[in-house]
Amino acid sequence: MRLKRSKNYRKLMQAYQLHFGFREPYQVLLDSSVLEDAARFSIDLVSRLEGVLQGKVKPMITQCCIRHLYNAVPKNDALIHEAKSYERRRCNHHELEQPLSSLECLSSVLGSTNKHRYVVSSDDIEVRSYFRQTPGVPLIYIYKSVMILEPMPTASLEVRDREEKSKFKAGLKGQRSASAGQKRKREDKDSGLEHERIPIEQAGAVAKPEAKKRAKGPKGPNPLSIKKAKQSKAAPSELHDKTSNIKTMEPNRPSSPAADTHGASTLDDGESGKRKRKRKHKPKGEGGTDDRTDQDTAMS
């Protein structure tokens, strides 16, 4: 539980640092009520404050709060000595015969904006309820020997949300320098043309393409899973035309194979003067050996 509480306190102080400009060492304003409770529960006030705020602290006390300790009944000298060891915050109320209350004194020191980034530590309920209305004031109190840092009040949350929204809008619109706008106006005057400037929101809406509407109903089959259509056979007339075209493109050749053989034989006779006979082979089952011997005897 203690680890979870310290983690929450660290996040809370980081939020105060980011949005309200708090930094270490934290200036903690103490009043007489929290000093009396710390002495009653034997609490080391400075070390507890450092543990709650997750950083170094600078305890401070006003002149009116010290006067409250002097006027207390019974009077605690040890507590007065401890309060004098803290840094004195001048409230300029020492000229008054009676000291102001803690609420009046601290409200005059912090003002309406908490300009000096004070952390208020008080066990007075009226003081804490009053400073919840002031944005950017962390509040600490002691409850049953436990020191507690209050969550960020509503006034501080509203300031934080307003600041984040302004940063978000500035990031969308973009920040242009004043010189850039003057230069654009000067160029428009020189050219003599008046251009209508479209806001960035409308320009983005025009440039954005419209999304395609999906057709309702069952989807068609996957084109990759469909078999390709077979090519239809050509008609006989088309085949005839193709063969005729091929014949016309071929060169002139002899009409019969006999003519080829005759021409080849005449050439061979002219070259060698003797016609050569080609030997015809027959299958072995038909007595190929006898025919071969007969042909050899006939040629001899």
* Amino acid at the residue 228: K
Backbone angles phi, psi at 69, to 5 degrees: -65, -35
Say what the pLDDT of residue 222 is: 85
Burial class (CB in 10 A: 0-12, 13-18, 19+), 80: middle
Beta carbons of 140 and 120 less than 8 angstroms apart = yes
Mean pLDDT by 10 residues, the chain (300 residues): 85 93 95 93 93 94 93 91 92 86 93 92 95 94 94 92 85 58 52 49 54 72 82 59 54 48 46 62 57 48
CB of 90 closer than 8 Å to CB of 64? no
The predicted structure's pLDDT at residue 262: 47
Whether the CB-CB separation of 173 and 182 falls below 8 Å is answered with no
Domains detected in the chain: 1-156 (3.40.50.1010)
Nearest to 112 by CA among 96, 95, 136: 136
- The dihedral through the CA atoms of 63, 69, 70, 72 has a sign that is positive
- Please tell me the predicted confidence (pLDDT) of residue 243: 56
DSSP state letters, 177-220: -HHHHHHHHHHHHHHT--PPPPPHHHHHHHHSPPPPPPPPSPPP
Closest CA to 30 of 22, 38, 18, 41: 38
- Structure-token pair, residue 291: 């025919």
